[in-house]
Structure 1
């Protein structure tokens, strides 16, 4: 294929809610450019983009898919992305490496929740943005309502470039306000006729054209002077002003398309060629220490890996953007994170599952390579003389969790390896091996994300698994002081076991007064690995217990604190004072005092008003005004405390403290009551008291479990 320089490469990411028509638009763009000779259909599972089995089964995108077109001496790299928040990691990575975002809006539904959720990342990176209003041939198509919603959500940057003459069944005509012509398409789409604007539309078209001219002029002082001088701008001047506005994130051009019937995609691609910025015109990427990495073909080679894909029968594919210089087959590049030198044995341009081999790629281009040894997402490959790391993609935090169990014992060991592979592909699926809870926990973006992971394990790896609720990492503590003693005595033939320990325990808090009841000979302050502290006081006088046995008593206390008396959870924030005891000159030993210390602590704990603690999260739920009441009610029904509310545009931000035990169910409930129009962020805040009725229930469950364990 033709080798394009950095000025003639455009990188485009398709974004939009599920069913907005992104995949169909990508298919039409490839067809119009002659990359494919027949358009596939999502319903038939034969599109270039949605080629994975799970996508064909579901009828929607799960992965971001790379494609390209060549249109009038420009190469347009296209990444088609999923429209559901569960697969947000695919979208975020694609936004990061593309230079223009094309947001596809369904004219039947306007600006949908999926679009709102994805917009945050486009806005974060300030990517030049184009809006394409699609599906204009449908009965429910409403171009003006969609445009109004876009203006309300995206703001005054929304800039009308085209409008439909006859939206709805039979749609075939568009007024273009830049070229001031009417495009009329044949019934089967394709190349339109250029016709004069009808008299009935001329007044409206002129008014909207003038608004477009003013919008283009206001982005540049020189253009504004020309506009005042001439009263108008020619087509090239308009393009210049629109590009400047797009680069400032102050102009979002709006186009009309009917991707299914192949209407409007050619004009859209022409605009991308002529106006959308190339990589060389964009602000330079940053290294992780803040240095600029200019997009310069004469600079040192630098590739940024943004996606890893494991393809059956092929192996590991790494997708990258060439940020600087050029990469050639046979190059050896340094990967500081992977602590290795990687040889580039093959280079490809990807179009879905098809790959076209090339011998080099230049700055600004996107490609992929096979079988790199230690290179993963967010790694940088650079010239040996200029090693560097590009600032990493920041992926969103998980929102739901579930424990995973292999149904076959023979799969248990293999499961860990497979999950590591899946995480390598999908950094938004986090794997936690929790020793405390004795569970392998998946942290995901949503229930669908978990379901697709389960599907992949079954259908790609042949591994049946079960997803069960993840346990809660409760903590135990006490609310008052208590005293207890325990005598451990065991005689069995030869040497026996004997130890007796007297102990006082108290709730610990920072700044608490020193112990007054007994003289403290020495004290040990222990920062517990699971949070909180243990203060261990040796108050023994008169040699009642030999000093060499105190560490054994502490060991017994610590063992019981690792499996608390109430629910088997970790114990925290307690002061223990050992003030008396007895020992035997022959039968006392370390194991005896460890047991006596453990049991004395256990007995005292039950008398000290034990309190179960649960993790509390700070949660923010962002919802449209119309969903406010339902969302508030649902939050309060999950033991949450509302802390405050903020208003941003047409959205409400509800701040609440929510127990972790309620979070997973709450997330699903909020998506349901808001019809998916909620965005949730939650971060650990603190441990708080569990209500008494829940504590009693959990304590009884643990007691039954312990009893069963002893009798089985």
Structure 2
């Protein structure tokens, strides 16, 4: 295979909502370039990008898939992504290594919620972006409304490069950059080029002039040239458009029919000639603060942006060459653990197809097999080059489940499989909760969970059960209580004796010191589960030796680790130990720990104990007409509505909802909004549980 330099490599991510046609467009571009002899289709389960069995079964993309095509002496690396936000981790990984973004819009629906979620990532990283309005030949297509929805999303910096002529059966596309009309036959493919018809020339000229002005705005020299000449030629316009894309201030809009092969060749030509390459972007800053130059003669550094486990191949690591060049059998150091990896094999991947290469240069994307010490987000670099590439930041999980193997003999096998799943998709979080005594799997939604279940069954042969996790309640008190406890045990030889008198009170930040006590010492314990225990030594006259006070504190902490109401962690309490007794022979640490634990527990139950529940903050984005249904559902979940903001056709609702009421919220929201709603969630605080709920929880034990 030909080796391309950094200026002739274009890395583009295809993003967009579910069913917008990204995979079909990628397939058509490979066909147009002659890299596949026949175009596959999602329905026939034979596209290059969607090759996994689960993708065939569900007829949708689940994994981000690297592909490549070659067009007019350029190499275009295509990263085809899923359209459902349950798989946002795949999109985030892809976004990190793409140089330009191709956002595909379904002409029947315009910009959808899925597109908007993805746009938040694009906008955050200011990635150069162009829009492609697909399916323009559909009977329900509305190009103008779709374009308006793009304007609503990105503002007036969206500019038409093309538009379809509907009254000619959507078989013609007017290109206002080249000022030509492309006429397609019934089978699409290579079009005939024609002059723009007389009934379209005024509109085409108007759009051409708007495009010229937008292109000129992005460069002072071009603006002066435009003022001098009154026009820009095609090359000058290309230069201005590229600069506008690099500044994230110009978003070209194309129109195509990917299914019927209309316009894909022209789109590839624009990607070749105008879309920025890695070498055009500003140098990336390393973790150490140095610039990473996308040059072949710079020190070599690779960024691992994706890991995949294939049954027959094992671990596949996908990387982007950030600087320098990589050759087969090169040795590189992992910046995270300083382990040396040997890249025995280098590949260009097109779905499941591998093409061996001997070398890849700066800006290119490739893959290698069976790295021993390297995971997603790692940097491989020349030894002593001191380059660490900034990691991908993944979104927080939105749902959590308790996971167990149906067959207890499969537990170890399950743990190994879950490690691989996390390595493959870092948005899958696995942790064992000591508090809940459960293994918790967290992910992006019910569909994401269903794919995890499918993979465990079909790829690893493990049947898993997914159940609602226990809720991590907290226990606290609402008033003060004083008590004492004497621990006395005599069973031959040395006995056990310890007596403790203590008072407990609710603790809050900034409260005054306790009155009526002779405070001899104070210790603030920051609890691992949040909150504090503040412990005061108020012993007078040496009735309890100072050496036993750590055991008294330990006894209190042991009760707080398993609260008296439900066994949940207790928090935010202060304890004043003010009296007690000891025995010159029988007193010891264990005696005072036991006495303190009993005294603390008795006082706790007298101090109007109360359960606290975790509260999550929700941000929900829904179409305005469906807001009423969402609000009704939130109210049924004991939610407190914090506010609402208008955002074009959508409303953003902010609410606080108890975690106990969030179970299966992802599924419910998708159902009541027909898949058009989205949400994010994060822990906000603990709050008091209603009395009726507390009574039920205490009954359950």
What TM-score results when the alignment is normalised by the length of structure 2? 0.95
* Corresponding position of 1:439: 438
SS of alignment partner, residue 457 of structure 1 = helix
* Corresponding position of 1:33: 33
1:90-117 deviations in whole A, cap 9, x for unaligned? 1111111111111111111111111111
* Corresponding position of 2:571: 572
Q: How far is 1:68 from its partner?
A: 0.5
Q: Determine the C-alpha separation between the residues in 2 that align with 1:523 and 1:342.
A: 53
Q: How far is 1:609 from its partner?
A: 0.3
1:186-225 deviations in whole A, cap 9, x for unaligned? 2222111112333332332233223222322332333333
Alpha-carbon contact 2:396-2:682 (below 8 Å) kept: no
Q: Against the structure 1 CA distance between its residues 95 and 535, is the aligned structure 2 distance closer, same or farther, given a 3 Å change threshold?
A: closer
Alpha-carbon contact 1:29-1:265 (below 8 Å) kept: yes
SS of alignment partner, residue 43 of structure 1 = coil
* Corresponding position of 1:617: 616
* Corresponding position of 1:141: 141
* Corresponding position of 2:111: 111
Q: Determine the C-alpha separation between the residues in 2 that align with 1:111 and 1:506.
A: 56
Alpha-carbon contact 2:13-2:81 (below 8 Å) kept: yes
**Matches of residues 228-627 of structure 1 in structure 2 within 5 Å?**
228-489=227-488, 499-541=498-540, 545=544, 549-582=548-581, 589-627=588-626
SS of alignment partner, residue 110 of structure 1 = coil
Q: Which shifted more, 591-600 or 63-72?
A: 591-600
Q: How far is 1:75 from its partner?
A: 0.6
Q: Determine the C-alpha separation between the residues in 2 that align with 1:228 and 1:590.
A: 90
Q: Determine the C-alpha separation between the residues in 2 that align with 1:274 and 1:662.
A: 53
Alpha-carbon contact 1:143-1:167 (below 8 Å) kept: no
Q: Against the structure 1 CA distance between its residues 549 and 98, is the aligned structure 2 distance closer, same or farther, given a 3 Å change threshold?
A: closer
Alpha-carbon contact 1:545-1:582 (below 8 Å) kept: yes
Q: How far is 1:489 from its partner?
A: 5.0
Q: Against the structure 1 CA distance between its residues 549 and 57, is the aligned structure 2 distance closer, same or farther, given a 3 Å change threshold?
A: same
Q: Which runs of 5+ in 1 are unaligned?
A: 703-712
Q: Determine the C-alpha separation between the residues in 2 that align with 1:356 and 1:52.
A: 18
**Matches of residues 623-662 of structure 1 in structure 2 within 5 Å?**
623-648=622-647, 651-662=650-661
Tell me whether 1:214 sits opposite 2:213 in the alignment: yes
Alpha-carbon contact 1:182-1:195 (below 8 Å) kept: yes
Q: How far is 1:620 from its partner?
A: 2.9
Q: Which runs of 5+ in 2 are unaligned?
A: none
Q: Determine the C-alpha separation between the residues in 2 that align with 1:587 and 1:26.
A: 81
Alpha-carbon contact 1:310-1:317 (below 8 Å) kept: yes
Q: Against the structure 1 CA distance between its residues 607 and 329, is the aligned structure 2 distance closer, same or farther, given a 3 Å change threshold?
A: same
Q: How far is 1:487 from its partner?
A: 4.2
Alpha-carbon contact 2:283-2:294 (below 8 Å) kept: yes
* Corresponding position of 1:681: 680
Q: Determine the C-alpha separation between the residues in 2 that align with 1:350 and 1:294.
A: 25
Q: Determine the C-alpha separation between the residues in 2 that align with 1:275 and 1:167.
A: 30
Alpha-carbon contact 1:13-1:94 (below 8 Å) kept: yes
Q: Which shifted more, 281-290 or 46-55?
A: 281-290
Q: Which shifted more, 590-599 or 470-479?
A: 590-599
Q: Determine the C-alpha separation between the residues in 2 that align with 1:289 and 1:622.
A: 37
Q: Determine the C-alpha separation between the residues in 2 that align with 1:512 and 1:253.
A: 60
Alpha-carbon contact 1:21-1:134 (below 8 Å) kept: yes
* Corresponding position of 1:160: 160
Tell me whether 1:15 sits opposite 2:1 in the alignment: no
Q: How far is 1:228 from its partner?
A: 3.5
Q: Against the structure 1 CA distance between its residues 167 and 422, is the aligned structure 2 distance closer, same or farther, given a 3 Å change threshold?
A: farther
Alpha-carbon contact 2:630-2:669 (below 8 Å) kept: yes
Alpha-carbon contact 2:257-2:263 (below 8 Å) kept: yes
SS of alignment partner, residue 42 of structure 1 = coil
1:451-505 deviations in whole A, cap 9, x for unaligned? 1111111111111111111222211111111123334455667766555443322
Q: Determine the C-alpha separation between the residues in 2 that align with 1:13 and 1:542.
A: 75
Q: Against the structure 1 CA distance between its residues 29 and 594, is the aligned structure 2 distance closer, same or farther, given a 3 Å change threshold?
A: same
Alpha-carbon contact 1:338-1:379 (below 8 Å) kept: no
Q: How far is 1:614 from its partner?
A: 1.8
* Corresponding position of 2:66: 66
Q: How far is 1:613 from its partner?
A: 1.2
Q: Which shifted more, 430-439 or 228-237?
A: 228-237
What TM-score results when the alignment is normalised by the length of structure 1? 0.93
Q: Against the structure 1 CA distance between its residues 315 and 543, is the aligned structure 2 distance closer, same or farther, given a 3 Å change threshold?
A: same
* Corresponding position of 1:710: none
Q: Against the structure 1 CA distance between its residues 582 and 215, is the aligned structure 2 distance closer, same or farther, given a 3 Å change threshold?
A: closer
Q: Determine the C-alpha separation between the residues in 1 that align with 2:227 and 2:50.
A: 50
Alpha-carbon contact 1:634-1:666 (below 8 Å) kept: no
Q: How far is 1:655 from its partner?
A: 3.1
Q: How far is 1:625 from its partner?
A: 3.8
Alpha-carbon contact 2:157-2:251 (below 8 Å) kept: yes
Q: Determine the C-alpha separation between the residues in 1 that align with 2:510 and 2:233.
A: 75
SS of alignment partner, residue 49 of structure 1 = coil
Q: Determine the C-alpha separation between the residues in 1 that align with 2:79 and 2:469.
A: 35
Count of residues in correspondence between the two structures = 701
Q: Determine the C-alpha separation between the residues in 1 that align with 2:601 and 2:192.
A: 87
Q: Determine the C-alpha separation between the residues in 2 that align with 1:278 and 1:556.
A: 64
SS of alignment partner, residue 662 of structure 2 = helix
